[in-house]
Amino acid sequence: MPVTIKMPALSPTMEEGTLAKWLVKVGDKVSSGDIMAEIETDKATMEFEAVDEGTILSIDVAEGTEGVKVGTVIATLAGEDEDAEAPAPAPKVEAAPAPAPAPAPVAKVEPVAAAAAPAPAAPAAAPASHADRVIASPLAKRIAADKGIDLAGVKGTGPNGRIVKADVADARPVAASAAPAPAAAPVAAAAPVAVPDFGIPYEAAKLNNVRKTIARRLTEAKQTIPHIYLTVDIRLDALLKLRGELNKALEVQGVKLSVNDLIIKALAKALLIVPKCNVSFAGDELRSYSRADISVAVAAPSGLITPIIVDAGNKSVSAIATEMKTLANKARKGKLQPHEYQGGTASLSNLGMFGIKQFDAVINPPQGMILAVGAGEQRPYVIDGALAVATVMSVTGSFDHRAIDGADGAELMQALKTLIENPLGLLA
């Protein structure tokens, strides 16, 4: 029997996604593990692998289709021992039993067909319908309903004549459907024109699922989380010296530490030293974590994503550097798996490489804090009571004031400063 391939749940919270791209076509043979499609979730664009062997009989959801619910049939696969050509005449077989119950509908439909076109026009609509049933994707039906388009007059270009989004995107309403259309059209069109353009030339790009999620989560964070911001200046000279020495020692292993790798380690250790900040607010309870998992902000083509260094407080700095390099590369290619970016007990965002001196980051819920790291730069600095020049960076912690008191946040920032200015403690 043919095997139906359904929209997978690529993360525990995924309810729908965008079928971004098909990497196979009808007639292709696939084996378990072959990449069949790219699916865009609310977090990233991920590859979808085949789990069965066989030949692609049909592709039921066109690439680019948004809002595909988990569990929706997106393609059909012929088993390894089945004839891949068998389904081609399927529409004729399926339509064969229709004449028995269909006399009455035929009589009703005939005058409409005659008014629209000569008698030969009826077969032209056949690829898109079986008897009086129009074959169309749910998205195409929704678009048609919004625009007042009669699908009976639309020729489908999808598998077996199925009407897909592209077939109705530019279609015009027919006369019979024109009357009710105005009532629905203004409602559908209202959202895009809500922001005036003031006559300024611009190009509009539709938001992908990742950007929509970023917008929603950050809006929720700023509206619902009372942020408190604490900033400290940290001297980097000792850390930079240690980093240079470690990189010489690790060169033979092909490992190169960045300042960011050492700050990840420092934040994780500080959270273990001050566990009252390694928490999250969860409604009527406060969750205190015994492990420090650091989410690190990475700019990817689809938007910001935060791969996680799990148990960073107990990992060596070389292990953190190696893992961070791998995760950052996967993030930029959209290849992260859900377990690699979901979770974390605190976040770190570093804009120092852009010369940003200091900034306030938005908390990534349900986490209780995020550290914003500015650029290390030479500044006048008092050392042992005398004015000197030192390499200094400003870091700001954003704390969820529902879960973390100001004094506890200050204690964390103090512990972080101590660890970075006395970096041998990071190796202990």
Task: Please tell me the predicted confidence (pLDDT) of residue 119.
Answer: 39
- What is the domain range of residue 139? 110-190
**The one catalytic residue among 130, 227, 339, 401:** 401
Whether 229 and 360 share a structural domain:
yes
Residue at 204 is within a domain: no
Task: Please tell me the predicted confidence (pLDDT) of residue 425.
Answer: 94
Whether 179 and 50 share a structural domain:
no
- Among 22, 6, 13, 7, which Cα is nearest to 338's? 13
Task: Please tell me the predicted confidence (pLDDT) of residue 143.
Answer: 78
Whether 82 and 117 share a structural domain:
no
Q: Which of 88, 118, 142 is at the close of a domain?
A: 88
What's the length of the chain? 428
Catalytic annotation on 401?
A: yes
**Six-digit token pair at 142?**
């929704």
Pairing of strands 346-350, 369-373: parallel
Residue at 404 is within a domain: yes
Whether 299 and 265 share a structural domain:
yes
Residues 6+ away with beta carbon under 8 Å from 35: 23, 47, 48, 49, 50
Residue at 203 is within a domain: no
Q: Which of 136, 156, 190 is at the close of a domain?
A: 190
Residue at 96 is within a domain: no
Task: Please tell me the predicted confidence (pLDDT) of residue 38.
Answer: 86
Residue at 45 is within a domain: yes
Question: In CATH, what number is assigned to the domain containing residue 46?
Answer: 2.40.50.100
Task: Please tell me the predicted confidence (pLDDT) of residue 83.
Answer: 52
Give the orientation angle of helix 181-190 with respect to helix 138-147, to 10 degrees.
110
Whether 229 and 84 share a structural domain:
no
Task: Please tell me the predicted confidence (pLDDT) of residue 100.
Answer: 45
Q: What is the pTM of this model?
A: 0.61
Residue at 104 is within a domain: no
Domains in the chain, number: 3
Whether 258 and 371 share a structural domain:
yes
Task: Please tell me the predicted confidence (pLDDT) of residue 181.
Answer: 38
Whether 347 and 376 share a structural domain:
yes
Whether 339 and 397 share a structural domain:
yes
Task: Please tell me the predicted confidence (pLDDT) of residue 141.
Answer: 78
Strand spans (E) along 216-358: 227-235, 279-282, 285-288, 294-296, 298-300, 303-305, 308-309, 346-350
Q: What is the residue-level pLDDT of the chain in tens, covering all 428 positions?
A: 788 899 988 776 778 888 988 999 998 988 888 888 988 876 677 888 888 888 998 999 999 898 899 999 999 988 655 555 544 434 433 444 444 444 444 334 334 333 333 334 434 444 444 444 577 776 777 777 777 788 877 888 776 677 877 777 767 665 433 333 334 333 343 344 478 888 899 898 888 887 888 888 889 899 999 999 999 999 999 999 999 999 999 999 999 999 999 999 999 999 999 999 999 999 899 999 999 999 999 988 878 899 999 999 999 999 999 999 999 999 988 888 888 999 999 999 999 999 999 999 999 999 999 999 999 999 999 999 999 999 999 999 999 999 999 999 999 999 999 999 999 999 98
